[in-house]
Amino acid sequence: MDANEAIAGRRAVREYTEEVIDEGLIRRLIDAAVHAPSAVNQQPWTFMVVRDQSVLERISHDAKSYMLASMPGGQHSGHFRSLLSDPKFHIFYRAPVLILISAVAQGPWVVEDCALAAENLMLAAYAAGLGTCWIGFAQSFLNTPDGKEVLGLPAAWVSVAPIIVGHPKAPPPDVPRKEPEVHWVG
């Protein structure tokens, strides 16, 4: 699959089969992630692969409570509040794997670096026939002392990109893009 095909075809996947993902394939995705550019080539990322469903269940439960308690009012808050209040809603959609990309170094661009690694990982997963979705619902909780304790994350690490990975149950729907606003100078 060429790069343009992967960029245009990747979609967030929210329904997965229970099929296990081969460890070698997970390592290939991480290898794609670390080919991302990073500021001053710092490569500030680290990867935690979580396959234990009881751990994912616990994070889902605790992250929902945390989000509900800390969510500011706003445009999406009504929708998010009802989703997060639903006991059946699993923030990781019962995907078989979560790959959490965290920044282990400090610096002004470590979040951008980890986000670039995440996009590489998601594109490589799509090219390998897998589905992914960035789970922002997990981010704030995983940066609390309680969240870090669940995964044994050191206090200094910053959780940037929780990416679920699995075999899609069905092709995800297309998500149309807005016409880009482009300003030309010169």
Ligand X SMILES: Cc1cc2nc3c(=O)[nH]c(=O)nc-3n(C[C@H](O)[C@H](O)[C@H](O)COP(=O)(O)O)c2cc1C
Say how far apart CA 41 and CA 37 lie, in whole Å.
7
Cβ nearer to ligand X, comparing 38 with 60:
60
| Minimum distance from residue 23 beta carbon to ligand X (Å) | 25
Q: Phi, psi (5° rounding) for residue 2?
A: -85, 170
**Of 1-9, 20-28, 101-109, 133-141: span binding ligand X (CB under 6 A):** 133-141
By beta carbon distance, the residue nearest ligand X is 136
**Of 34-42, 102-110, 131-139, 148-156: span binding ligand X (CB under 6 A):** 131-139
| Minimum distance from residue 142 beta carbon to ligand X (Å) | 12
DSSP string, 89-146: --TTTT-SEEEEEEE-S-STTHHHHHHHHHHHHHHHHHHTT-EEEE-HHHHHHHTSHH
Task: With residue 149 as reference, give the H or E element that holds it.
Answer: helix 145-151
Q: Phi, psi (5° rounding) for residue 116?
A: -65, -40
Per CB under 6 A, 90 contacts ligand X: no
Per CB under 6 A, 135 contacts ligand X: yes
Per CB under 6 A, 171 contacts ligand X: no
Say how far apart CA 44 and CA 105 lie, in whole Å.
5
From residue 11 to residue 30, the character string flagging contacts with ligand X as x (rule: CB under 6 A) and all else as - is: xx-x----------------
Q: At what angle do helices 110-127 and 23-33 cross, to 10 degrees?
A: 130
**CA atoms within a 13 Å half-sphere pointing along the CA-CB vector of 126:** 23
Per CB under 6 A, 50 contacts ligand X: no
Per CB under 6 A, 136 contacts ligand X: yes
Cβ nearer to ligand X, comparing 71 with 185:
71
Task: Name which position in 45, 66, 126, 137 contacts ligand X (CB under 6 A).
Answer: 137
Q: Which residues bind ligand X (CB under 6 A)?
A: 11-12, 14, 133-137, 175
